[in-house]
Structure formats: C-alpha cells, structure tokens
A and B are shown apart, each in its own frame.
Chain A
Amino acid sequence: MTTASVAAPERSLQSYLTERAGRGKLLMPYVTAGVTPDWLELVDAVIDAGADAVEIGIPFSDPAIDGTTIQEATVVALEAGMTPAAALQQLKSRRFGVPLIAMTHYNLVYRYGHERFAADLVAAGGWATILPDLPFEHAGEWIAAADAEGIENVLLAAPVTSDERLAMVVEKTGGFVYVVSTMGTTGARAGVDSAATVLARRVKSITDKPAVVGFGISSAETAVTAAREADGVIVASALMRRVLDGATVEDAAQLVAEIRAGLDAAYATQDL
C-alpha cells in the first residue's frame, strides 16, 4: 500500500476511501489505544500489512456496545493509565501513512470538549470519529464542531434499521457507512451473519458512499464473505484477541496481512 497524502484541509475520508475502493476491498483494523506499551508499533504494523485506514479505540470505563474482547482490551488500557488526551498526544508523535479514525463512547468526547477534541484529533492524524452511542438525532453539536475541523462522523447501520432510518443514516454519515453485521455486540465470530450481506446490499442500493462491514470479522474467510456486497471490512476483536493473548506486534499484524491477501485474492480479478 502506498502512502496517501493526509494534508488538511482538502482531506476527505469519503473521497479517499472511494478512491481506494476502486482498487480493492477496504480493510480497516482496530487497535485499542494503550492495549500494550507498544500499541503505536502495532498501528504501524497493521498499516504495513495493508490497512487502508486504522480505527483507534479510546478506552471508556463503561463500554456498553462492546463484546468481551474489546472490554478486556479496554480494562487493560485503562489500568495502564490510558486517557483520551494521552492517546491523541501519543498518536501526534508519529506520522501515519493512512487516515486514523477515533472510535469511542460519546461521553469522552463530550467531556473533552467538542471543539478541543476535534482540533486535537486532527493534530493526531485523525480524519473521522465513530461514536456508536451517539445517534444522529443527538449528534448536532458534535458534527458542527467536527465539521469546522474537517473531521467526518461515521454513522452505523444495523440489520434492524428501518428503510426510513437507513436513508437518514446514509445521508448524514461522513466517510463511510459502518455496516453492523449482526445484532450482537462487537466480537469475532466463526461466521458472519447473512444479515450483513442483506444490509450491505440495502446500503449500496441507496448510496455511493463506501459501506464497510464490522462486528464479527475473524479471518480471511469471514472477511471475504462479509465483503461480498460491501466495500470492505473492519477487523477489531480478532486482532485485539491476539494481542491480549500475548502475540508480538508481528504476529498480530500477520492476521491483517492474511485478511489483506484473502481479500485481494478473492476480489482482485472481479470488476469492483
């Protein structure tokens, strides 16, 4: 993967991902900030392994949306003293070749201060946020502050999301549409619900914005299945599982490399 230009203010995650999606399926790994002392090396390694963008999880004390693995990563990171400010500060100390996307619970952004969080996120190399517990009805203040700094706010769509609501999610989302593959919490699963395929198809039938499937991507095989109707996949719990089980940065990143290879092999020859 080549290094993209990340210079503000003309950056647009949606344009960037759309351009990338023209060349292959998108792959976005997730790393919990502070999950290990060398978590920044892990971010570098998953980019080298073929990530198109990286989600940075900022740990929150009450991760109601997350499954057991991300909860565990959250506890480890919080016990190591990770804070939103520290995560952004540490990211700022490096330059990454791909866009970073902050994923956290809204309270941390709210408490940090909308304007200040948006500005510090840009300085840290962030292009967008994913705040799963902030539905668009309540997101006005954050989106205004984010817009002012050129930060996009990614919204989620779930299999149960009604057609009427899906149209609003698709219209209001920034960057891409985060397709929740199943009705569970985050977490690696052996198979990916056919619900993901159905939902990705519903999304793609009403928008040109990229649709990326998350929740439950555990292997190249599940990624290939999940990406069939979508523009790409997010791999989070499976990656954090390896890290929590003591894998080295190289071993953890190997999962991303395998998924990259699987996606490229499955879709390289197809018209995308």
Chain B
Amino acid sequence: MTATRQLPPAASPLNMGEPDGLGFFGEFGGRYVGEPLIGACQEVEEAFIDAWADPGFRDEFLHVLNTYGGRPSPTTECDNLGEQLGLRLLLKREDLNHTGSHKINNVIGQALLAKRMGKTRLIAETGAGQHGVATATAAALLGMSCTVYMGEVDMRRQALNVFRMRLLGTEVVPAMSGSRTLKDAVNEAMRAWVSEVGDTHYCLGSVMGPHPYPWMVRTFHEVIGTEARQQVMDLTGGLPDVAVACVGGGSNAAGLFAGFADDPEVRLVGAEPAGGAAAGRGVPAIVHGMRAYFMQDEVGQILEAESISAGLDYPGLGPEHSHLAVTKRAEYHPVTDDEVLEAFQLLSRTEGIIPALESAHAIAWVANNAAELQGQTVLVNLSGRGDKDVEQVQEILER
C-alpha cells in the first residue's frame, strides 16, 4: 500500500469512466425506452453534461450537500468489531447524512438539475422508502411538487416512510401491478413520466434505467468514494485492502467504488441479497431501459426478488456494475437474510451503530469472510441507518 497517492482528479475515474455515445459501459446500459421517452432522456443527458461542466453548478451541488445534507460524512474506525473479527474495520458513515442514507447525494443533484431545466415537479420510485423520502425532502427544499411511486407491499413494510413522505408534502401512489415492490414502482414511475414529461423530471433513485441515469446517478454519488479515499488515507496512511458495499440497483456501491476503481490494489466487493442476486443468479436482460444482469426465468420473464430489505428488493444490477462484474474489476457475493439479521445485531451491539438492513448486507459479508480478511483494512460503506428497520427486526426476532 502506498500513502503517497493524490486524490483522484475531478474527471471520472478510468475504470468507471464515461459510457459510450449510446450509453453503454462495455456491453451493458443503453437507452431501451419507448419513443415518447427518447427525447426526455436526451434532454436529461444534455442538461447533465452541461451542468456538470459548469463549475457554478458543481459548487452549488457541493454547497447544498455540505450545508444541508451534512457532508462530508465521517469515516469511523470500528475497533471493537474490528478486533473481534481480526481486521481493521472502517465505516464510511452515509447513515449520518440528512434523511439517513446516501440517497440524498443523488436527489440533491437531480433536483438542482431539474430546476436548471425549468421543471417544476419531481417523480420518483422507491423501495424501502429511503429514496422516496430523500426526493420528497429535496422537493420541499427547492419548492417543487413531488409524487413518489411505491410498491403496495413496500408501503405496508415501510409505513413510517410513507408517512414521512406525506409529511414532507409529497403524494405517495401505490404500485399495484406485478409483485407490488420496487420493480413495479419503477414501471409505474416510467409510465407516469411518459404522460407528464413536459414539466416533470423523473428522479431515478439508483444506477439503473436508461442512459444517462446510471452514469449521472453514480457521478452524483462519487462524493462518497472521493471523501472515503482521503479519509482512509488520513486515518491509516494508505488505501484499504477491500471496499465493500451492499448492492441492489447499486448506487451506494457505485459511489464508493468510483473512489477506488483506479487503485488496482483495492478489492471492490458488492454484497447482494441471496434472494435478489442479479450478478450471481442473473443473465443479461433488457428491462427498465437498460441492458443489465437480471434474474429471469428461462423465457425471459423477470423474477421477483426476495429480500429482508425492501431497498435491495430489486431483481437487476445496474449496467456499470454488470460491466464491472464481467471485467472482474469488482466482485459480487450473496448474503442470506439470516446473516443480515446477525450482522444488524452485531454492529449495533459492538459499535453502537444500528445499520439499515441494506447496509447490514455489507457488514454480513465482512463477518462471513473474516477468516480470509485477517489483518486487512476493510472499508464498508454504511449506506444508511437502521431506524426505519427496527420495528421489522423486532417483529422477526420476537416471533
């Protein structure tokens, strides 16, 4: 490990660079949407390229993240759990952001972009409710109206987040089709966008969907990896051996990985829910506007993911992650719901940090693999806090 590296330049890192002109990372990505949405995607792409090249926009983005979102989030060294597991454990504390997860980075970016585009309304899909709450928050902050689509099953699982969104002045619309979870909320949001594209920006919540979303959302989250890289160097004098994040669609992992993608000595690990392991069990498919790994049956019908965490309850893996999986720059491993519940309690007990069930997947992978990680420096992106999950976990544990 070297301690002399400079921070990555402002431009996108090489291994997670810009997609090609059609929005592909290698063979994944693209813009597989109906003709009514082509123009809307092009408009977002042009606006994003223009805004991101504008230092004024980037200053405003960082200013809001810092003064409103609570950035930079710290990196915490976890001596207790690290000692127990026999490794040096560092947590990037996205759980300390305003609204309780990394999601705020992306929504602030997109909401500022939507304003710049002259849009007055945001729509979004949400799984666990974290992205919905974050979008509702950004809409309130910037004086925009907001509608969030949420699977009817998820609305029951995350009733408190539904109330939070309504409190923030957002309309929450149940997605009643299919499995009534995140993938169906995406379908509903895309349908709504088609009808309302004139004044509405679709604030997509993960590194998925049609170009430019996977690229744009990762770019807004790169602040995670950029900060973490410097913080780990400050704390340890070097780079971590492993950077770990949970992966549903993959936005927090993309943000973390971007900070280390060009450091070949840093192993990048995505922890997938075993019931939604798109990298492990999926094959390439064209769904939700992109070519990416999806769990599907033998004829190409998309399967329903099953996970204890609504936020990872998605049968696909974003196109850039699909590409990183194929090129083997990153690796993706499943963890089971039981292992996640263990990790949820383990981190709470040893460090006084209650993680989101999503983030507990990353902790679970570290705990599972402690034997091979002995003595290594392991950086985990703690993407969100677990307040939203304690009731659900209580029910499970006391059942």
Check A156 against B197 for contact (C-beta < 8 Å). Answer: no
Check B288 against A62 for contact (C-beta < 8 Å). Answer: yes
Check B39 against A137 for contact (C-beta < 8 Å). Answer: no
Min Cβ gap A163→B in Å is 12
Tally of contact residues, B, Cβ under 8 A = 32
Among residues 1 to 51 in chain B, which have CB atoms less than 8 Å away from a CB atom of chain A? 22, 30-36, 38-40
Check A135 against B35 for contact (C-beta < 8 Å). Answer: yes
Stretch with Cβ within 8 A of A (4 or more), from B166-174, B294-302, B344-352, B384-392? B294-302
Is B393 located at the chain interface by the 8 A CB criterion? no
Interface centre among B30, B35, B39 (most CB of A within 10 A): B35
Among residues 82 to 109 in chain A, which have CB atoms less than 8 Å away from a CB atom of chain B? 83-85, 105-108
CB nearest neighbor in A for B285: A107
Answer whether A158 and B36 are a contact pair too, CB < 8 Å, given A75-B177, A110-B300, A111-B300: yes
Answer whether A138 and B32 are a contact pair too, CB < 8 Å, given A62-B187, A185-B195: yes
Is A14 located at the chain interface by the 8 A CB criterion? no
Is B190 located at the chain interface by the 8 A CB criterion? yes
Residues of the B chain whose Cβ atoms lie less than 8 Å from the Cβ of A67: 191
Main secondary structure of the interface of B (DSSP, over half): mixed
Residues of the B chain whose Cβ atoms lie less than 8 Å from the Cβ of A159: 36
Is A65 located at the chain interface by the 8 A CB criterion? yes
Give complex CA distance A108, B300 in Å. Answer: 5
Answer whether A112 and B299 are a contact pair too, CB < 8 Å, given A61-B178, A132-B34, A158-B34: yes
Which range holds the interface residue count of chain A? Answer: 35 or more
Give complex CA distance A187, B232 in Å. Answer: 54
Residues of the A chain whose Cβ atoms lie less than 8 Å from the Cβ of B36: 158-160, 180, 183
Check A64 against B195 for contact (C-beta < 8 Å). Answer: no
Instruction: Write the A162-190 contact mask toward B (1 if CB under 8 angstroms, else 0).
Output: 10010001000000000010011100000
Check A133 against B33 for contact (C-beta < 8 Å). Answer: yes
Is A153 located at the chain interface by the 8 A CB criterion? no
Among residues 49 to 96 in chain A, which have CB atoms less than 8 Å away from a CB atom of chain B? 60-65, 67, 71, 75, 78, 83-85
Is B286 located at the chain interface by the 8 A CB criterion? yes
Residues of the A chain whose Cβ atoms lie less than 8 Å from the Cβ of B341: none
Check B287 against A135 for contact (C-beta < 8 Å). Answer: no
Residues of the B chain whose Cβ atoms lie less than 8 Å from the Cβ of A151: none
Answer whether A61 and B302 are a contact pair too, CB < 8 Å, given A71-B177, A75-B177, A107-B287: yes
Among residues 112 to 154 in chain A, which have CB atoms less than 8 Å away from a CB atom of chain B? 112, 132-135, 137-138
Residues of the B chain whose Cβ atoms lie less than 8 Å from the Cβ of A132: 34-35
Among residues 168 to 218 in chain A, which have CB atoms less than 8 Å away from a CB atom of chain B? 169, 180, 183-185
Check B35 against A62 for contact (C-beta < 8 Å). Answer: no
Identify A62's interface contact among B31, B33, B178, B299, CB under 8 A.
B178
Give complex CA distance A180, B35 in Å. Answer: 9
Check A185 against B191 for contact (C-beta < 8 Å). Answer: yes
Answer whether A134 and B32 are a contact pair too, CB < 8 Å, given A62-B288, A64-B288, A107-B285: yes
Check B300 against A112 for contact (C-beta < 8 Å). Answer: yes
Check A184 against B300 for contact (C-beta < 8 Å). Answer: no
Min Cβ gap B104→A in Å is 27
Give complex CA distance A12, B296 in Å. Answer: 35
Is B194 located at the chain interface by the 8 A CB criterion? yes
Interface centre among B30, B31, B191 (most CB of A within 10 A): B191
Is B183 located at the chain interface by the 8 A CB criterion? yes
Check A155 against B285 for contact (C-beta < 8 Å). Answer: no
Is A15 located at the chain interface by the 8 A CB criterion? no
Min Cβ gap A86→B in Å is 9
Identify A161's interface contact among B39, B190, B194, B285, CB under 8 A.
B39
Check B177 against A183 for contact (C-beta < 8 Å). Answer: no
Answer whether A83 and B299 are a contact pair too, CB < 8 Å, given A67-B191, A160-B197, A185-B195: yes
Residues of the B chain whose Cβ atoms lie less than 8 Å from the Cβ of A107: 285-287, 296, 300, 302
Give complex CA distance A135, B290 in Å. Answer: 12
Check A135 against B187 for contact (C-beta < 8 Å). Answer: no
Check B39 against A133 for contact (C-beta < 8 Å). Answer: no
Min Cβ gap B83→A in Å is 46
Check A106 against B178 for contact (C-beta < 8 Å). Answer: no
Is A257 located at the chain interface by the 8 A CB criterion? no
Check B194 against A106 for contact (C-beta < 8 Å). Answer: no
CB nearest neighbor in A for B179: A61
Check A62 against B38 for contact (C-beta < 8 Å). Answer: no
Is A157 located at the chain interface by the 8 A CB criterion? yes
Across the A-B interface, give the 9 residue pairs with the lowest CB-CB distance, nearest first. A111-B300, A61-B301, A158-B36, A156-B35, A158-B35, A184-B195, A132-B34, A107-B286, A61-B302
